[in-house]
Structure 1
Amino acid sequence: MAGSQESLQVNESKPSQSITGLSLTPQHTILLQKQARVLLFPFDVKKNKQGQMINPQNLSENNSNNEEKHKVKRKHRELGTPEIEAMFPKEEYSLQKSALCSQTEPSAAISKNTKDVLSLSTEMQSKQDGDGDGDENETADRDGSTELSAYEKKRLKNISENAEFFASLDLIETAKRLREMITKRPSHGIKRKKPKKAEDEIVCRRSMRLLKVDPSGVPLPDPSPQPDSVVDQYTRLPPGPLEMIPENQNGENEVFKGVLHMWMKISQSRNESTKKSSSMKRYQASLSGMVISEANICKVTKTRVCSMAIHPSETRTLVAAGDRVGQVGLWDLTQQPREDGVFTFILHSQVVSCLNFSPANPAHLLSLSHDGTLRCGDFTRAVFEEVYRNEERDFSYFDFLADDASTLIVGHWDAGVAIVDRRTSGSSYEQFFNSSMSLIRTLQVHPVNRHYFIAAGGRDVHIYDLRYFKSKGIKPLISFTEHLKTLASAYFSPVTGNRVVTTCADDNLRVFDTSCMSSKIPLLTRVRHNNNTGRWLTRFRAVWDPKQEDCFIVGSMARPRSIDVFHESGELVHSFIDEECLASVCSISVMHPTQNILAGGNSSGRIHVFKG
Structure 2
Amino acid sequence: MAEDNSYEQERQRIIAENAALLAQLGLDHFASTSAPVSRSRASSSATFGEGSSTAGGGKRKSSRATAATGGATSKRSKLSNGAGDGHASPGGGVSTRRSTRLMGLKPESDEAVAHLAEQAERAKKELEILRHAERRVRKEVMTLEELVAEEEWNGDNERTGDELNSLLASVASTHTARPISSLAYSDPDAYATPAHLTAADTALRQTYRSSTFLRTARVTSERAYSLTIHPDPTRILVFSGDKRGIVGVWDANARDESQNDDEPGEHVDGVKRELDEVEGDASAGIVQDWTRGSGKVWRMQVHQRSAISCLRVDPTRGDTVSITDVLDDSATKLFTSAYDCSMRTLSLANGVSTAIYALPDPDALINHFDISPSGNEIWAVDSLGGLSHVDMREDNSKEWVRRRWIISGQRTNTKIGGVGINPMNPSLICTASNDRTMRIWDTRHLQSIRSHPFLPAQILSKSTEDVATEEKPAEDDKAHLYSTGHSPSLYPTVESAWDDDIYPAMQTKKHAGLLRTESDHEKSCSAAYWDPAGRRVLTTCYDDRIRVYDAKPSLFKTDAPLQDAFNPELKIGNMKKRVTVYSGLTGSLIADLSHPSLTAVPAVTATHPNIAGVVVGANASGKCHLWGPAPLLD
TM class by shorter chain equals 0.5 to 0.7
Partner of 1:608: 625
1:212, 1:519 → 2: CA distance? 70
2:87, 2:300 → 1: CA distance? 37
Partner of 1:244: 144
1:526, 1:233 → 2: CA distance? 46
The answer as to whether partners of 2:176 and 2:316 remain within 8 angstroms in 1 is no
Whose Rg is larger? Answer: 1
Q: CA offset at residue 477 of structure 1?
A: 2.0
1:572, 1:303 → 2: CA distance? 31
Partner of 2:317: 361
Partner of 1:462: 439
User: Per the alignment, in what secondary structure is the counterpart of residue 284 of structure 1?
Assistant: helix
2:168, 2:608 → 1: CA distance? 17
The answer as to whether partners of 2:386 and 2:408 remain within 8 angstroms in 1 is no
Q: Give the one of 543, 548, 567 matched to 1:523.
A: 567
Residue 391 to residue 575, structure 1, CA distance change in 2 (3 Å): same
Q: Deviations over 1:116-158 (max 9, x none)?
A: xxxxxxxxxxxxxxxxxxxxxxxxxxxxxxxxxxxxxxxxxxx
Q: Deviations over 1:281-313 (max 9, x none)?
A: 2321221211114xx211111210000010000
2:516, 2:137 → 1: CA distance? 39
1:252, 1:486 → 2: CA distance? 41
Partner of 2:22: none
The answer as to whether partners of 2:340 and 2:365 remain within 8 angstroms in 1 is yes
Q: CA offset at residue 588 of structure 1?
A: 0.5
- The one-letter code matched in structure 2 to 1:358 is D
Residue 289 to residue 305, structure 1, CA distance change in 2 (3 Å): same
1:566, 1:250 → 2: CA distance? 43
RMSD: 3.1
Q: CA offset at residue 601 of structure 1?
A: 0.6
User: Per the alignment, in what secondary structure is the counterpart of residue 299 of structure 2?
Assistant: strand
Q: Give the one of 170, 185, 189 matched to 1:265.
A: 170
* 1:557 matches 2:476: no
Residue 388 to residue 577, structure 1, CA distance change in 2 (3 Å): same
1:214, 1:241 → 2: CA distance? 44
User: Per the alignment, in what secondary structure is the counterpart of residue 399 of structure 1?
Assistant: strand
1:300, 1:212 → 2: CA distance? 42
Q: Deviations over 1:228-261 (max 9, x none)?
A: xx99676241441112121233399786534433
Matches within 5 A, 1:421-570: 421-422=391-392, 423=394, 424-425=396-397, 428-437=400-409, 438-458=414-434, 459-469=436-446, 470=449, 471=451, 472=496, 473-474=501-502, 475=506, 476-495=514-533, 497-515=534-552, 516-517=555-556, 518-520=562-564, 522-529=566-573, 556-558=574-576, 561-570=578-587
1:573, 1:214 → 2: CA distance? 61
Q: CA offset at residue 607 of structure 1?
A: 0.6
1:249, 1:426 → 2: CA distance? 38
1:366, 1:512 → 2: CA distance? 28
User: Per the alignment, in what secondary structure is the counterpart of residue 303 of structure 1?
Assistant: coil
Q: CA offset at residue 217 of structure 1?
A: 9.0
* 1:285 matches 2:206: yes
1:276, 1:561 → 2: CA distance? 31
User: Per the alignment, in what secondary structure is the counterpart of residue 424 of structure 2?
Assistant: coil
Q: Give the one of 406, 409, 416 matched to 2:376.
A: 406
- The one-letter code matched in structure 1 to 2:528 is A
Partner of 2:353: 384
The answer as to whether partners of 1:563 and 1:586 remain within 8 angstroms in 2 is no
Partner of 1:158: none
The answer as to whether partners of 2:310 and 2:337 remain within 8 angstroms in 1 is yes
The answer as to whether partners of 2:310 and 2:336 remain within 8 angstroms in 1 is yes
User: Per the alignment, in what secondary structure is the counterpart of residue 371 of structure 1?
Assistant: coil
The answer as to whether partners of 2:225 and 2:242 remain within 8 angstroms in 1 is yes
* 1:344 matches 2:299: yes
* 1:588 matches 2:632: no
Q: CA offset at residue 478 of structure 1?
A: 2.5
The normalised TM-score by structure 2 is 0.53
* 1:331 matches 2:250: yes
1:467, 1:412 → 2: CA distance? 20
Q: CA offset at residue 524 of structure 1?
A: 4.5
Using CA pairs under 8 Å that are at least 6 residues apart, name the structure with larger relative contact order, 1 or 2.
Answer: 2
- The one-letter code matched in structure 1 to 2:308 is V
- The one-letter code matched in structure 2 to 1:477 is L
- The one-letter code matched in structure 1 to 2:300 is F
Q: Deviations over 1:25-66 (max 9, x none)?
A: xxxxxxxxxxxxxxxxxxxxxxxxxxxxxxxxxxxxxxxxxx
2:428, 2:385 → 1: CA distance? 17
Q: Deviations over 1:102-126 (max 9, x none)?
A: xxxxxxxxxxxxxxxxxxxxxxxxx
The answer as to whether partners of 2:250 and 2:298 remain within 8 angstroms in 1 is yes
Residue 480 to residue 382, structure 1, CA distance change in 2 (3 Å): same
1:219, 1:454 → 2: CA distance? 53
Structure 2 gaps, min length 5: 1-79, 97-129, 184-198, 257-267, 271-294, 321-333, 452-495, 507-513, 557-561, 630-634
The normalised TM-score by structure 1 is 0.55
1:289, 1:426 → 2: CA distance? 52
User: Per the alignment, in what secondary structure is the counterpart of residue 211 of structure 2?
Assistant: coil
The answer as to whether partners of 2:204 and 2:590 remain within 8 angstroms in 1 is no
2:158, 2:180 → 1: CA distance? 38
User: Per the alignment, in what secondary structure is the counterpart of residue 206 of structure 2?
Assistant: helix
User: Per the alignment, in what secondary structure is the counterpart of residue 250 of structure 1?
Assistant: helix
- The one-letter code matched in structure 2 to 1:414 is L
Partner of 2:45: none
Q: CA offset at residue 332 of structure 1?
A: 0.6
Q: CA offset at residue 461 of structure 1?
A: 1.3
